[in-house]
Amino acid sequence: MTEAGVDMVARTTLAAGRHARGRQRRQRALLSVAALVLALLFAVGVWGGYQLNWRWTGLSKSVTLWDWLQVLALPLAIGLAPVLLHHRGNLTRKHRGLVAVATLVFGVLVLLGYLVPLRWTGFTDNRLWDWLELLLLPLVVATASLWADRHRIRRGHLMAVGALVLVFVAVALGGYLVPWSWTGFRGNTAWDWLKLLLLPVVVPAILLPLIQQRITVRLRPGAANLVAADRDAPGRGAADRDAPGRGAADRNPADSVPSER
């Protein structure tokens, strides 16, 4: 190819790249504007329901924080799961600190809701069983991608899980035999326990391994080539495995030409 032809190809490639980046920026701007509009409409609806008694909203002072948690916990967990799956390797100490602070603030709010009590939270009439029904499945869905990878599991993690299981079994026995009324366990049958635990067990044990690879391939460019290469060539070197997207179609043809030296 002549020098003029190479220059034309380079200009065409740069123009295509600028066009693609501009289109992505416009799409992000439109999504941001749409999200802002929806958030404003939602805020106006909430304010009108609580303060102006707009009956069509269905909101009033009888709708507590507990009711909001019942509506939002699982959808937020489902939305957070692929984000954690894609960015779990980028979590820093700052991110973990923010999660710890948010958890601490929520725990303090729960204690105040029971001890003061804060009626607007709607916590006072709920027992441990109700909290398990509310939070167990969302927590499993949101965090499953962080611990479902067997290579990340250590003996300390297994010991911690075992200790939690023993504590939970002791609390369950106390709830039925003592009985501890704050657990809310007494009166729940084996069928109730099956409904409570079925999905939290099925999601990480069966469903997550089936969809994890698909999510990874969609969110990480070149992951499909990497997965295929790792499957077809188990003896590849570490340098090839560390190069995402370097599949057979992406290799430089010159790599297969033997040296003339």
Query: For the segment 200-214, what is each residue's pLDDT rounded down to a tens digit?
Result: 877 766 666 666 666
CB 33 within 8 A of CB 25: no
Select from 93, 82, 90 the least CA-distant residue to 144: 82
Q: Kindly report whether the peptide bond that precedes residue 221 is cis, defined as omega within 30 degrees of 0.
A: no
> pLDDT tens digits, residue range 36-57?
999 999 999 999 998 888 889 8
Q: Which one has a higher pLDDT value, 73 or 200?
A: 73
**∠ CA(219), CA(31), CA(138), 5° rounding?**
55
3-state secondary structure of 215: helix
Report the alpha-carbon distance of residue 216 to residue 213 in Å, rounded.
5
| pLDDT higher than 80, residue 260 | no
Entry pTM: 0.68
> What's the confidence (pLDDT) of residue 13?
77
Mean pLDDT of the chain: 78
**Alpha-helical runs (H) found in the chain:** 3-51, 65-87, 93-115, 128-147, 155-177, 190-202, 208-219, 223-232, 238-241
pLDDT of residue 184: 93
Q: Give residue 24's pLDDT.
A: 84
Place of tokens 């002072």: 61
Q: Confidence band (pLDDT; 50, 70, 90) for 175?
A: very high
- pLDDT score of 127: 94
Least confident of 7-21, 135-149, 190-204, 207-221: 207-221
- Any residues with CB less than 8 A from the CB of 61 and at least 6 apart, and which? 50, 120
The residue that leads in pLDDT, 260 or 134, is: 134
223 pLDDT higher than 60: no
SS3 label, residue 155: helix
Is the pLDDT reported for residue 237 higher than 70? no
Q: Are 183 and 127 in contact (CB under 8 A)?
A: yes
Among 98-102, 204-208, 218-222, where is mean pLDDT lowest? Answer: 218-222
Give the Cα separation of 198 and 22 in Å (integer): 47
User: Which DSSP category does 220 fall into?
Assistant: S
